[in-house]
Amino acid sequence: MNTAITTIPLSTLGIGSACQIVSLNLHGLLRRRILDLGMVPGTSVQCIRKSPAGDPVAYMVRDTLIALRSEDASQIHVNPM
């Protein structure tokens, strides 16, 4: 039996769904900013709402609402809850 946990990009999370951050594939200033916002491995994240155009998406992270572009969110890998 395969017990490996499959990660998905944060950008594929549906509205109202929750997940836990596994890894960030970001570099430079964007990586530093995301880490400063509290999006570190092990943190729980919930997708709250998408803009009418679908980009950006609002996520609840540590009682703070954060909007991320899909391009950036696709570089954050999570385990759905």
pLDDT tens for 31-65 read 999 999 999 999 999 999 999 988 899 999 999 99
Q: How many domains does the chain have?
A: 1
- Whether 2 is covered by a domain: the verdict is no
* CATH number, domain with residue 21: 2.30.30.90
pTM given for the model: 0.87
Residue 3 resides in a domain = no
Query: What is the per-residue pLDDT across 18-34, written as a single tens digit (0 to 9) for each?
Result: 999 999 999 999 999 99
Whether 15 is in a domain gets the answer yes
Sheet holding 18-24, edge to edge: 8-9, 76-80, 18-24, 44-50, 57-61, 64-68
Report how far residue 80's alpha carbon sits from residue 58's, in angstroms, rounded to the nearest whole number: 17
Provide the domain limits for residue 52.
8-80
